[in-house]
Amino acid sequence: MKTILHWQIASPAGVQGWIQGSRRIRDFWASSFLTSWLSACAMKALMDGGYGEIVFPAVEEDPLWLAMHGRRHDGKEGPPHWFVGTLPNRFKAVLSDPSAFGPNGDDPCSKAVREHWQKLAEAVWQTFVEPAAPCGAGTWDIWHRQITGFWDINWVLGKDPKDGSDGAWLDRRKNWRAHLPSTEEPGDHCRMLGDFQELSGWVRAKGQASDQDKFWQAVRKQVREVVNPDAGDDTFELLEIRNTERLSAPALVKRLFPCLPADQLRKVLGWVPQGLQEHHGRIPGDLPAKVRFWPSTAYMAAVPWMLAAWDAVPDACKTFQQACRSKLHVPSVAEHDSHVASFRNLGSKDAKEFGLLDGSFFFDDMLHTEARNLDREAESLAQTDPDRARKLRERSRKVEEIRGELARLREAYRRRVEPNLQPRQAKSLTASPFYALLVMDGDAIGKLLSKVAGAGSERAVSEALRRFTGQVKRIVEEERDGTLVYAGGDDVKAFLPLPTAIPCAIALRQAYLDAMKNVAGKLDEPPTISAGLVFAHYHVPLSTVIRKARDLLDKVAKEGNGRNSIAVSVEKPSGTMAEYVTSFLPEKKRTPEKCKKSPIDHMQKLARAYARDIERSTSFLYNMKDRYEHVLDIFGNDRERLEKVMLAEWVKGKKGRTKGDEDRIDELLDVCMTTTGNGKAVFRLAGGLIARFLADNGVGTLDARYRSPVPAGDGA
């Protein structure tokens, strides 16, 4: 009888806790990548040592697995460049040598994780932290304590029951916690992983703030020398560690390992994710790899407007780009390597350079805040460091000049496109501050695997999930201008420009269903997938957005609405503006042309209608909520009655109703008449609010593959 192994890795706070501590998109990617890579290291150790074979997931053609073996995922010659985590944090294997798995981490998989994690942490320590350690108070002791035993590894092995019941072994094992966290850590705590002490060892409450600041200044200086030693201007705030960030050892590994010189990354990982960075006059291996560069949330928000502006007024965009690079050279290349396909695919070098500008350059409030902060810092240093204060004031002046350049670019764009816009579309004359975070996860995948394992079809499901994963990058990045953070098994995490987020979720769901089609016949219920989608203002902390997206997925779409659902929210700095959920199932008893479409399929259409039609006002939606809330509760699943009530409110004060009025209410109900996972109809007025929000932020104006609403011009 076969011996089965179920294995899993997580941080002390769990995988989601490790991920949700992220403060930047690169942190989010690094969390997922490191977990996926360490899981792959465990699988590789098991297979290379001849201890067994992996049953789930299917690893043979996985791009991360291929990269670890020196092969490209696209079959081309040359070194691998893959950089997205694609393997889950757990696996199932059939063991040929069960005796190799002893207690207390005495097994090849746990040893491989410890060795690779320690090797990566050591590279970060030696490159960035060790030169600053003399400025700390017991920094090495803190580092060693936090890095050693950081990962929580659980595994269970036993004889194959041949009925799929082994799928529950690992969940039972997790209830028996053997990974005991250390006692509460002393001192000031990490800004990213709040349960851990920050690395300097100094405590601000004890009057040691200056010592703590001195340590982190030394770390930032070392990071600056590694990532950009040729920069003549040291007044810009280092993106890798901001002045207010004080991090723990695990958080620092997560934050800084992408900044290791490419040659060191190759030694630790086995390949260079995203490939070498091009730089005249320096050896590429001495520089951080391209994987250092990830877009900001402000950049993802600005992308639709940037593309539309380039299409409409390319000369004005070129002038703006040249001004940014001449006045603020280092920050202007913060994005440096655009993940946005539309910019990469533009033939013009000037267009690509424009696409590499920092996202903050397109928002006047961010530039104003930057200039104000520089002036304040200059004032505080006027007596103690007058030379630096002078440099800071000069930099503030240049930032203000960029504000003027942005105003001129906006004006050129306005003159070009405004004559072709409806009044509501004019809100898109400046970049929207909202971007989208999409998370998706297969429904009840554990139960599904247990069922097919009992039927001997587990391998078929693994292959189906691999086919789905293989399509995700194309759908997210090449077709929707998104930035893929993770795509492993049935799990997807991606950042997207606001106009393409809902179409991307719909396309990914269809790809999942298509990939699982061959195994659907072996199941009692067809496989489904759910999604959480957050439209967030760039001022909302990313950790808050990540938690919200996960809650939407787990608590609203899956638990609350019965799976096979998508939950959507709009998050402003003041809080949640609207929250909406519907299943991907169509509303029952609809006309034949609409019976195959779910409410979310109609969302973009309604948003475009709001953009074109000034008569569709938000006040109507709020009036319905305030005046008829009790009626909406009573008629919540009766479309015909709701339509009559809403039409009566809509035509109030008008001379009768028209076919256009009926169409407007019908289109609104197509979105607001949502469905649960079992097909039950539920009226949710928030759908109209979200459609109006989308219209105000580019849908209906910038969503036709980001083409400008007028033919491309010369900026005149």
Residue 709 has pLDDT above 70, yes or no: no
Both tokens of residue 89? 């944090």
| E strands present in 573-704 | 575-583, 673-675, 681-683
Task: Give the span between the Cα atoms of 469 and 489, in whole angstroms.
Answer: 6
Highest mean pLDDT among 443-452, 465-474, 631-640: 465-474
Highest mean pLDDT among 77-91, 444-458, 588-602: 77-91
Pairing of strands 529-537, 565-572: parallel
Among 309-318, 393-402, 658-667, name the one with the lowest average pLDDT: 658-667
Tell me what pLDDT residue 515 has: 93
Pairing of strands 575-583, 681-683: unpaired
- In degrees, to the nearest 5, what angle opens at C-alpha 259 toward C-alphas 85 and 39? 25
DSSP string computed for 564-606: SEEEEEEEETTEEEEEEEEESSPPSS--TTTTT--GGGGHHHH
Residue 108 has pLDDT above 50, yes or no: yes
pLDDT above 90 as % of the chain: 61
Identify the residue with better confidence: 276 or 528: 528
Residue 714 has pLDDT above 50, yes or no: no
Residue 453 has pLDDT above 70, yes or no: no
- In degrees, to the nearest 5, what angle opens at C-alpha 67 toward C-alphas 285 and 71? 100
Identify the residue with better confidence: 20 or 43: 43
Q: Phi and psi dihedrals of 104, rounded to 5? A: 60, 40
Highest mean pLDDT among 182-191, 355-364, 514-523: 355-364
Tell me what pLDDT residue 136 has: 97
| Residue with the two structure tokens 């560690």 | 241
Tell me what pLDDT residue 713 has: 38
Residue 36 has pLDDT above 90, yes or no: yes
Burial degree of 125 (CB within 10 A; 0-12, 13-18, 19+) = buried
Per-residue pLDDT of 665-693, as tens digits, reads 999 999 999 999 988 889 999 999 999 99
Tell me what pLDDT residue 582 has: 97
Residue 639 has pLDDT above 60, yes or no: yes
Per-residue pLDDT of 273-332, as tens digits, reads 988 776 545 556 677 788 888 999 999 999 999 999 999 999 999 999 999 988 876 544
Tell me what pLDDT residue 232 has: 56
Among 160-164, 242-246, 450-454, 488-492, name the one with the lowest average pLDDT: 450-454
Q: Look at the domain 433-584 and name its fold.
A: Alpha-Beta Plaits (3.30.70)
Classified as helix, coil or strand, 633 is: helix
Average pLDDT on 15-42 reads 91
Are 699 and 605 within 8 A, CB to CB? no
Tell me what pLDDT residue 456 has: 61
Residue 94 has pLDDT above 90, yes or no: yes
Tell me what pLDDT residue 589 has: 56
Among 313-327, 347-361, 488-502, 695-709, name the one with the lowest average pLDDT: 695-709
Residue 181 has pLDDT above 60, yes or no: no
Tell me what pLDDT residue 368 has: 96
Q: Hey, where are the domains in the chain? A: 3-187, 297-428, 433-584, 589-690
Are 332 and 320 within 8 A, CB to CB? no
Mean pLDDT of the chain: 88
Residue 255 has pLDDT above 60, yes or no: yes
Tell me what pLDDT residue 332 has: 42
Within 8 A by CB and 6+ apart from 260, the residues are 123, 124, 127, 226, 268, 288, 289
Per-residue pLDDT of 584-616, as tens digits, reads 988 765 555 555 789 999 999 999 999 988 888
Residue 708 has pLDDT above 70, yes or no: no
Among 44-48, 111-115, 187-191, 707-711, name the one with the lowest average pLDDT: 707-711
| E strands present in 421-543 | 434-442, 483-488, 491-497, 529-537
| CA 497 to chain CA centroid, nearest Å | 11
DSSP string computed for 113-159: HHHHHHHHHHHHIIIIIGGGGGGSSSHHHHHHHHHTT-SEEEEEEEE
Residue 706 has pLDDT above 50, yes or no: no
Among 199-213, 316-330, 477-491, name the one with the lowest average pLDDT: 316-330
Residue 716 has pLDDT above 60, yes or no: no
Task: Give the span between the Cα atoms of 703 and 687, in whole angstroms.
Answer: 19
**CB atoms < 10 A from the CB of 467, how many?**
18
pLDDT above 70 as % of the chain: 91
Tell me what pLDDT residue 593 has: 55
Model confidence band, residue 710 (pLDDT cutoffs 50, 70, 90): very low
